[in-house]
A and B are shown apart, each in its own frame.
Chain A
Amino acid sequence: MLENPTTKANEKRKGWNWAKFPPLAVRLILGSVFIYASADKIIHPAPFAEAVNNYQILPETLINLTAVILPWLELILGIFLILGLWLPGAVLLSNFLIATFFGSLVFNLARGLDIQCGCFNTSQEDTYSLCMCLYLIRDGIFLLLGLYLLFLTYLRKPTGTGVRITKY
């Protein structure tokens, strides 16, 4: 569909394109979440290594490496998402990370492992299930936000003018 040149000119005059607001807001939200999540892990790597171990998914040899590298990856992704740097790569990695966290939660919920203590919990009617479900909902929302950015970055078809929106 061809754009109306008058509308485009008006938008330019106003100096702000409202269509850019939702992707920008999502980037700011996800970026802030990544930075916030990384801070405590960078300051306290040992407890984070224990938390990684509690998930009981990675082999022993990768636990400390993950605890050393993952927080910095989150911090860099957060900064890149907020500043709009290297968005295709940052969005792809963000989605990969969020999907991995989400998958790990689902996996441990299914096998009844309490990730807060690394212990098995067979009780289904206590706060454990509730907490896990809240984590799942939280990560599910992040995943949806990430997929929204992924859609805008990769899957949005070229417009009639041949301009593909890759930066927003």
Chain B
Amino acid sequence: MKKRWLVEMICAEEQYINLPGETRNMKRYMESTGLEGIGFRMFWQAGAIVLLAVTIGVLVNQIRSDRLPLVADWSPEARLTFESGTSMVISLEEARESFFSQKVVFLDARPPELYQEGHIQSARNLPWEAVEEYFDAVMTDIPQDSLIIIYCDGVNCELSKDLALELFYRGYEKVRVLVNGWSLWKENQLPIKTGHSPGA
């Protein structure tokens, strides 16, 4: 009986005998925890699923009419440039000069609560999220040929871009965007104010 047990043990060890030390230990560990088969399967299956998604995604994108370029320029300047090449971006220097010459209307595209916490002095609040509701009250006395500078907060903030396009399509031709406007304005210690919008 004892002999048989010894033979079985030696046979069990033989399957590991030719394996290098680390592999042997890993194999033993994985077998003891039941991970061997499933560990291998999860990796090749996950890899195959990703590969399938990449193949289908890229192929479908290439054949559809509204395809996206696989690599695109997402800088604020690129996103705020029309197909004709005209850019809506205005620099801080230009915005500052326009501000002090008082030949400009500043529009804050952020929600009212953020506007009330602080905004560029003389700026009106036209929140993009409620543009229809605010539009008439805010824009009623602004001629369509006025220079309008729109801002929000954050380099990638979409509110000012969306509002600028809306105004452009409504006939306001001199619409510009001050990218990351609120942060830039504060950092450069230019005039700011708190409270409600004069146009609201």
Task: Enumerate chain A interface residues (CB-CB to B < 8 A).
Answer: 42, 45-46, 49-50, 53-54, 56, 60-61, 63-65, 67-73, 76-77, 80, 86, 88-93, 96, 113, 117-123, 126, 153-154, 157-158, 164, 166
Contact = CB atoms under 8 A, between A and B. Distances in A.
Interface size on B, as a range, is 35 or more
Interface stretch (B16-24, B84-92, B153-161): B153-161
Interface of A: prevailing SS: helix
B113 interface: yes
Contacts, number: 124
Nearest to B55: A72
B113 A89 contact: no
Contact of B57 (A53, A72, A77, A157): A72
B53 interface: yes
A89 B128 CA distance: 43
B101 interface: no
Contact of A89 (B34, B45, B152, B156): B45
B57 A69 contact: yes
11 contacts: A49-B68, A61-B71, A64-B70, A68-B57, A76-B56, A96-B46, A117-B159, A118-B156, A119-B157, A157-B33, A158-B34
A117 B157 contact: yes
A86 B117 CA distance: 53
Contacts of A154: 35, 38, 42
